[in-house]
Amino acid sequence: MQTETTTPDEVADPILAVDGITKSFGEFLAVDDCSFDIGNGSITGLIGPNGAGKSTMFNVISGFYEADSGSVHFDGEDITGLPPNEIAHKGLVRTFQITRDLTEMTVMENMMLTPKNQTGESMFRAVFDRNTIDTENEVIAERADELLELFQLDHVREEFAGNLSGGQRKLLEMARMLMLDPDLMLLDEPMAGVNPTLENDIVQRIKELNRERNVTFVIVEHDMSLVMDLCDRIVVMNEGTDLAAGPPSTIQNDDRVLEAYLGGGA
Ligand SMILES: Nc1ncnc2c1ncn2[C@@H]1O[C@H](COP(=O)(O)OP(=O)(O)O)[C@@H](O)[C@H]1O
Ligand SMILES: [Mg+2]
């Protein structure tokens, strides 16, 4: 039953290569020699029991934590240790919960703020230098409107973000990071606290962005049936390291994965 087909190196065209990442907090090894590749254009699920190190891994990849050892390559380039704004500038972003100060701004203000607020002034310029339109603000507003429409938030564009439903906030979290025109998005439990209707909306947006704009996604999500449906590949973490990787059908029937879920979990 166990074959050696689920090695982390089977991805033909990786956009992200995580190699031997270790990250400790004091004595505690949260991530312990973890390696995996993410295929360009894929929707990859990153799963594992609570405390497996998934969120820590996301923070290392996106530059919010500095790893003790190991490397992260994005698009063939070594981005290990770069600050988050530089990594975002290169097209790799992770989503954040809308913080309290942002709830007191309108949805549109959130959208307009994002590039500056999340990643610094230089980011703001870098994204829109690509366009040959006169006013940066006009371009930004146009893009914001387009994304708000895509995320069905255009009707609440002048609403305070704090007045949105939990699900709408999740959509806004994604929409505002898309202002940066990323190639790779890391989503940490994007469906948490979202009702089934909006959950379906988020799934559809992810599929559209993947299909139509070739955005690659890595998604931490606990709902296994959703992961199996949405993802074309799954990476399993357990106790800080990569346990298995492969297509959903393989992972679903992997004894080691089952064992990790039954025996593990904090
Ligand atoms: N900032 C931190 N300081 C100390 N311990 C942490 C910190 N962040 C995470 N941990 C610990 O690292 C382990 C992995 O956490 P995390 O990456 O959040 O796991 P997951 O997202 O897979 O549930 C957990 O045991 C957690 O308590
Ligand atoms: Mg987590």
Q: Which domains does the chain have, with CATH numbers?
A: 1-82+185-191+216-266 (3.40.50.300), 92-181 (3.40.50.300)
Task: Name the token pair of 20.
Answer: 């031997």
pLDDT value for 49: 94
Give pLDDT tens digits for 181-235: 899 999 999 888 788 888 888 899 999 999 999 999 999 998 989 999 999 999 9
Strands 28-39 and 14-25: antiparallel
Mean pLDDT, rounded, of the chain: 86
Of the ranges 98-102, 147-151, 188-192, which is most confident?
147-151
Strands 241-246 and 233-238: antiparallel
Residue 133 has pLDDT above 50, yes or no: no
Cα separation, 252 vs 243, whole angstroms: 13
Rg (CA), the chain: 18
Cα(21) to ligand 1 centroid in Å equals 15
**Ligand 1 proximal residues by C-beta, below 6 Å:** 25, 28, 30, 48, 50-56, 266
CA-50 nearest atom, ligand 1: 23
Q: In what order do the strands lie in the sheet with 69-74?
A: 28-39, 14-25, 69-74, 77-78
Residue 198: how many CA atoms within 13 Å on its side-chain side? 18
In this structure, the residue with its CA closest to atom 5 of ligand 1 is: 25
In this structure, the residue with its CA closest to atom 11 of ligand 1 is: 30
pLDDT value for 215: 96
pTM (whole model) above 0.85: yes
Percentage above 70 pLDDT, the chain: 86
Tokens 């549109």 correspond to what residue?
A: 108
Q: What value does the mean pLDDT take over residues 126-142? A: 63
Cα separation, 160 vs 183, whole angstroms: 29
pLDDT value for 74: 98
Angle at alpha carbon of residue 73, lines to 68 and 78, rounded to 5°: 80
Q: Which amino acid is at 33?
A: D
* pLDDT band with cut points at 50, 70 and 90 for residue 260: confident
Least confident of 90-104, 113-127, 151-165, 215-229: 113-127
In this structure, the residue with its CA closest to atom 17 of ligand 1 is: 53
For helices 121-129 and 107-119, give the axis angle rounded to 10 degrees: 110
CA-240 nearest atom, ligand 1: 14
Residue 126 has pLDDT above 70, yes or no: no
* pLDDT band with cut points at 50, 70 and 90 for residue 135: low
Cα separation, 30 vs 227, whole angstroms: 23
Query: How does DSSP classify residue 184?
Result: E
Residue 123 CA from chain centroid, whole number: 19
Cα(30) to ligand 1 centroid in Å equals 6
Q: What value does the mean pLDDT take over residues 58-62? A: 97
pLDDT value for 124: 47
